[in-house]
Every structure is written in C-alpha cells, then in structure tokens.
Amino acid sequence: MYGMNFNRENFDLMVKERTSLNAENTQLKTEVKLLNEKVQYLLKKLFGRSSEKLSPDQMELLLDELQEAQEALEIAEEAEQDDSEPVESRRGKRKPLKERVPEDLPVEQVIIIPDEVQGNPGRYKKIGEEKVRELDVVPTRYFIREIIREKFIEIDNREVPPLIAPAPARLIPNSYASAGLLLQIILSKYCDHLPLYRQEQVLKYRHGIEISRKTMGNWMYLIADWLTLIYEALRNEIRQSEYIQADETFIKYQDPKKDHCPNGYLWAYHSPGVGVLFEWFPSRAASCLDSMLTDYAGLLQSDGYGSYPSWLNDPAHEQEKGNIIHACCWAHARRKFHEAGDSISRKIIKLIAKLYRNETTLRKQPELDRATYRQEHSAPVLNEIKTILDREQKKQLPKSKLGEAISYTLKRWDSLNLFLEHGKLEIDNNLVENAIRPTAIGKKNFLFFGSPRSGQDSAIIYSLIETCRKLDINPADYLRDVLEALPTMGQNEAASWTPAQWNSSRAQSA
C-alpha cells in the first residue's frame, strides 16, 4: 500500500512536470516562430527588393487572371506578326525628338557644303539636302549688368534740381545679387538638390566667381521672407479645397544648444490639383497640426501615425473633430501585409490589387462617378477582405507580422472605407508621399538644416516649387516672374501670385 502511494505520487509528479514541459515547449515554439518572422523581415529589408510588387511566389493567387493573360498574349503575337505595326512596349512607343523637346527652342543651322562644290560652285546644282537634328546646350553664362541712371538739368533754368530716373526696386537692397542670380541659386538648391557649399565651389572653380555659402544662405533667408505672403495665400487655397492629404518626414538641423543634430520634421499637406505646402517643426508632436487644421473643415487623409487622431480627439479641437472627416491610406495597410509575406497576406494583397485596378479604371475614365463605381466594384472586394481578417484574427498570434497587419487594418477599417462614400478621396496617401520625395533627395545631399529658422525658410521655397511640379508648371518661369514682381508687390496682391493663380492668369493672357 505504501509502495502504491509512493508510485502514485511519483506519477502525479511526472504528469505535472510533463504538463509544464509541454507548456514551455509551446511557448518556445511561439517565440521561435516570432523570431524567425523578424529575421526574415530583416533579411528582406537588407537584401530583398524594396518594391512591393507581386513576387513570383504569389503566382498561385493569379489563376483567375490566366485567361486574360492568355488573350493578351495572343493579341501581342498577332501584332508581332504584322511587320507594318511594331509592338509597343509597356511604356509605349518612343516619341520622336520633336515631341520630346519644346517647339519654341531656337534652332541653329550648320550647313555643310562639299569641298568640290565650294571650289567650283558654278559647276553644281543643288537637288536636295539631308538633315540631322541634335540637342545642344550652352553652359550657364554669368555677366555683369550695369544699370545706368543718367542725370539731366534744364538748360535754361539752373535753379531746378537735376532730373534722374528713380532707381528700380530691388529684392535685396545694396546687393549685387540680381533676380536671375537668385533664381539660379534657388533652382540649384531646391530643384537640383545642390547644397550651397557645392554651388560655392562650382562658381569659384568653373566660373572664377567667389560668393561664399554664408552670403548665399543670407540671400535665401531674405527671399523666403519675401515669399511668405504668397506661401500663406497658398495655405488658404489648400484649406479651402476641403481635401488635404498629410504626411511628415524628418530632416536633421543644427541646434547651438546641443552637441548633435537633432531631428526636425517637414510636415507636408497636399490637395490634389491645388498645391503642396510644407511646414517645418523641431518635433513630431500633434500640436504641429494647429496652424493647418485649426478651423479647417473637410477631408483629411493620412497614414496610421497617431498624432492625427490624437489631435482630433483633443477636447480643445471639439469643433474641428465635428468638421473633419479623417480617412486612412490603403497603401500603408497593404505594406503591413507585404512585410508579413505569408500565404494569407498574399491573398489579401491580391484582393487589394483589385481595389487599385478599379482606381486605374477611374483615372482612365474621368467621366465615371467615382463614388457610384466604387460602391459597385470595390465594396464587394472590401467585404471579402473583412471576412478573411475577422476569421484569421482569431487564429494568428497578435505579435506575429500577420497578426499585427490584421490588427492595424481592422483598427482603421472604417477610415479605410471612407473612399467608398466620398468620390473626392483617393484610395491612398501616395500623392503627398510623392511630393515629399524631392526633399528626401535634398537632405541626403545637404544632410541637415543650418538652424531652426532655415528649416522653415526651406519649407516656404519647397512649397512653391513642389506646387509648380504638381501643376505641371516650369518653376524657373514662375519664380522669375515672382522675383521680379516681389519688390513692388502689395500685401493684397499676394493671393494672385500663387502658382495656380499665376498659371491661370498666363493662360488667359495667352
């Protein structure tokens, strides 16, 4: 009996230890799975493609498109057999030179006559000619412009003071910088991303002109100060459009109070078809949104960064919360599933691709009603995505990549679906992210802003240049007109000098 009790106790102990070991084993397997996901994610970041396009291992999800692909292949083969009509590439036929350069470019002709004809021109008769056109360039030419104001006196009345024409208004008084020189520096820095210290070297060693980077920096400060009125008029145009896409990107800056360059942030606001506005702040706090969103009413679209809902949920912004409709971005949701990379994620990515194909159709056929078309074609796809997410959320580990992607998407589901109701909304925030790209190239070259103030100065100039790019305006033409008009521009005239207003006025005069 004692032996049986001993064996029973020993058996219970073994069962308890086995249960504990099984629980520990399950926990370790879970940790190994999560660590493997992190390793695969890091390897993909380090050595994989940065593109989020469908990869070859996702082809099993494209079976429903095989028929369409086969039909497209047959059409391509038929076109290939027809020698009279060459097959176009994905990017289309290459345009001839005359369609790739402006029509108003000056033409310089170089006529080449055979030596025999030059030696005896009377012996030959011209019967035709052969032309070869090439695009040439003359390097930037610097020159001194002398502005001479002649003085006159009356011959018969010497008591009248001499006459002299008033001096033309200048952007920078008592400076040798012309509007053309300032324009060249602005375009080189903010369009071609050439830092001022490199411009200093180019001027010195290529043209023999010495202008210090400090002097050029002071000029940029003064120009930004001049442009502030137009910048604020651009802000009003974007706010009045009732649709703003928002994003932010970091750029380091020099702080004399610190021994390192801390992160500052360019906040970007884009309204499709209206313009882009940048604001610079030394932080990424929600309070940075005050100057743009206070008293704003309309659509606001952003990524999943928490400052936007935090600002809207602040009791101090109760009025704005009732007037602002906050939408989220499908590109960021898709990115989460792309990072997960498993079969469930690939299936969801495939469904999201259907949403984007619908958006492509809407871009190609602008006459369609966007909200109606989306309700008919995109709403069923969203319902299918929601069904998968609800089902898989119960099965996946919350800290796994797929679990995080599902949680991210479901948490913002209502905001992600707002584009169904509002035809003005885009499906994602990509347009404002594209507007940020030029600044990202610039910060790789100049590394940091020289001071907190220079961050906002750059934001002002970037706003006007990027708005020109979005509206298909040559920034050189726009800025030349603006720089020449600024010295005599009244405060009430600034609203008519935003890129959109300038372009409209020029089109009317033309």
**pLDDT for the residue numbered 5:** 52
pLDDT digit string, tens, across residues 344-394: 889 999 999 999 999 999 999 989 999 999 999 999 999 999 999 999 888
| Cα gap 280→268, rounded to integer Å | 9
| Cα gap 269→444, rounded to integer Å | 22
Q: Is the pLDDT of residue 38 over 90?
A: no
Q: Is the pLDDT of residue 59 over 50?
A: no
Give the residue, 509 or 388, on which the prediction is more confident.
Answer: 388
Q: Is 407 exposed, middle or buried (0-12, 13-18, 19+ CB in 10 A)?
A: middle
pLDDT digit string, tens, across residues 399-448: 888 888 899 999 999 999 999 999 899 999 999 999 988 888 888 878 78
3-state secondary structure (DSSP) of residue 170: coil
- Please tell me the least confidently modeled range out of 36-40, 260-264, 502-506: 36-40
What is the enclosing helix (H) or strand (E) of 249?
strand 243-253
| Cα gap 78→84, rounded to integer Å | 12
Mean pLDDT, to the nearest integer, of 64-80? 47
**pLDDT for the residue numbered 509:** 82
Mean pLDDT, to the nearest integer, of 463-483? 94
3-state secondary structure (DSSP) of residue 151: strand
Does residue 448 sit within a domain? no
**pLDDT for the residue numbered 17:** 78
Domain residue limits at 414: 233-434
DSSP H helices in 195-342: 196-207, 213-240, 290-293, 307-313, 318-323, 330-340
**pLDDT for the residue numbered 62:** 44
**pLDDT for the residue numbered 200:** 93
Q: What percent of the chain has pLDDT over 90?
A: 44
Q: Which among 406, 345, 349, 411 has a CA at the least distance from the CA of 381?
A: 349
**pLDDT for the residue numbered 167:** 86
**pLDDT for the residue numbered 61:** 42
Q: Is the pLDDT of residue 67 over 70?
A: no
Q: Strand pairing of 243-253 and 298-301? A: parallel
Number of domains in the chain: 1
Per-position DSSP letters for 407-473, written without gaps between them:
HHHHHTHHHHTGGGT-TTS-SSSHHHHHHHHHHHHHHHHH-EESSHHHHHHHHHHHHHHHHHHHTT-
| Cα gap 79→93, rounded to integer Å | 14
Does residue 72 sit within a domain? no
Residue 210 has phi, psi (to 5 degrees) of -105, 110
Does residue 409 sit within a domain? yes
Both structure tokens of 470: 């979005």
- Cα separation of the two ends of the chain: 112
pLDDT digit string, tens, across residues 307-318: 999 999 988 888
The whole-angstrom distance between residue 458's C-alpha and the CA centroid of its chain comes to 16
What is the enclosing helix (H) or strand (E) of 12?
helix 2-47
pTM reported for the whole predicted model:
0.77
Mean pLDDT, to the nearest integer, of 467-477? 94
> pLDDT tier at 69 (50, 70, 90 boundaries)?
very low
> pLDDT tier at 52 (50, 70, 90 boundaries)?
low
Highest mean pLDDT pick, 162-176, 229-243, 434-448: 229-243
**pLDDT for the residue numbered 270:** 95
Mean pLDDT, to the nearest integer, of 446-453? 81
Does residue 266 sit within a domain? yes
Does residue 163 sit within a domain? no
pLDDT digit string, tens, across residues 138-157: 888 899 989 898 898 888 88
Does residue 298 sit within a domain? yes
Round the average pLDDT of the chain to a whole number and report it.
Answer: 84
Does residue 259 sit within a domain? yes
Q: Is the pLDDT of residue 39 over 60?
A: yes
Does residue 240 sit within a domain? yes
| Cα gap 106→321, rounded to integer Å | 56
pLDDT digit string, tens, across residues 286-335: 999 999 999 999 999 998 888 999 999 988 888 888 899 999 999 999 99
- Residue 148's identity, in one-letter code, is I
